[in-house]
Amino acid sequence: MPVDRIGLVVHQGRPEALRAAHTVRAWAERHGIPSTDIDVWSDDSRRRTGREEAHAAGDPDLIVTLGGDGTFLRGARIAVKTGASVLGVDLGKVGFLTEVRVGDVVTALDAAHTGQALVEERMTLTMRASRPPELPAEMETFLCYGRGPALPPPPVRPESPAGDGWGLALDVNALNDVVVEKLARDRQVSAGVYISGRLLAAYSADALVVATPTGSTAYSFAAGGPVLSPHTDAVVFTPIAPHMTFNRTVVAAPDEPVALRILPQSGRAAVSIDGQPRGVLDPGDWIGVYRAPQRVRLLRLHPTDFYGRLRDRFHLTDAPATGTGADGDTVPFFRPDCPIPPDLAGLRLPPGTTASR
């Protein structure tokens, strides 16, 4: 399907992003395709929900993000509401989401317009809550200091009846993670954590992270959590600085929801979705985090080389233990210059391998 309308999410603080945005607008003008800047705000303006942003921009079917992973997440929260695709142009430093180089943006737009771009879908998380989350006015300035205005609280989905015991279904999607974290330095978050409706443990911690495989390389990873392939579906729970012996990450199946109930002795806790503060929880409140039916559609020029990016981003081959010759001319087991044997057909192999004959 050709591109009908483009939405642009641009990191305004990067000159190279502004120049790339000019390139995208010029390409759109040559092809007679409307383009609109979206998710743009100033300190005195109100930010909108993802669905509102999409509608205000004319419901673009392609969202182009120009920046790092933070800019990409801004575009993804909008795209997932309408099923639009996201083309992330890499201008960041330690990104895992944006893969198209700025010099390839015109090639990528051509591929998207002619249907030649690769489509990669990623799992997202959604939520239910015991009550609608909100940011108290006295806390919004503190929580959003230095980062611009806050997003509005997640709206309740209209099909969610109140008082049925299952809580309120929220119209929200997280591509990376949902985080419950302490608000006061001297008051940790105390919460009972339930997986598939069964109590796992009661935690007292700085924060509790529920992440997707995509988000496993973000906050969860920084806290010692595992790296998961973004091509998997799973729900990853990681406690941050817990005051207990059991401090391990739990990787749950994608159909196993994770619920967190704030205990009476806990301090108040902030809820962030993909790094954006969206509400405050009081003792007695709870949230449930689970796999959403909506997935984010990422456009690529080439198959994702996730492990190559992991190696490069964290300089893994520079480790002293690697010695020399670890990454030789021939990759063991994989031979891109030969046909794929029948027993390996269907596996995800390095880009460039030839099909079996």
Q: Which helix (H) or strand (E) covers residue 327, if one does? A: none
What are the CA-CA distances from residue 252 to residues 73, 93, 274, 327 (Å)? 23, 30, 19, 33
Query: What is the distance between the alpha carbons of residues 227 and 24, in angstroms, rounded to a whole number?
Result: 34
Does 69 qualify as catalytic in the annotation?
Answer: yes
C-alpha gyration radius of the chain: 22
Query: Please, is 171 exposed, middle or buried when counting C-beta atoms within 10 Å of its C-beta (0-12, 13-18, 19+)?
Result: middle
Q: Is 299 helix (H, G, I), strand (E, B) or coil?
A: strand
Pure H helices in the chain:
15-30, 50-56, 69-82, 105-114, 137-143, 219-222, 306-313
Confirm if 243 and 251 have CB atoms less than 8 A apart: no
What six digits make up the tokens of 328? 């030789």
Catalytic residue among 69, 90, 177, 285: 69
Question: Which residues form the catalytic set?
Answer: 69
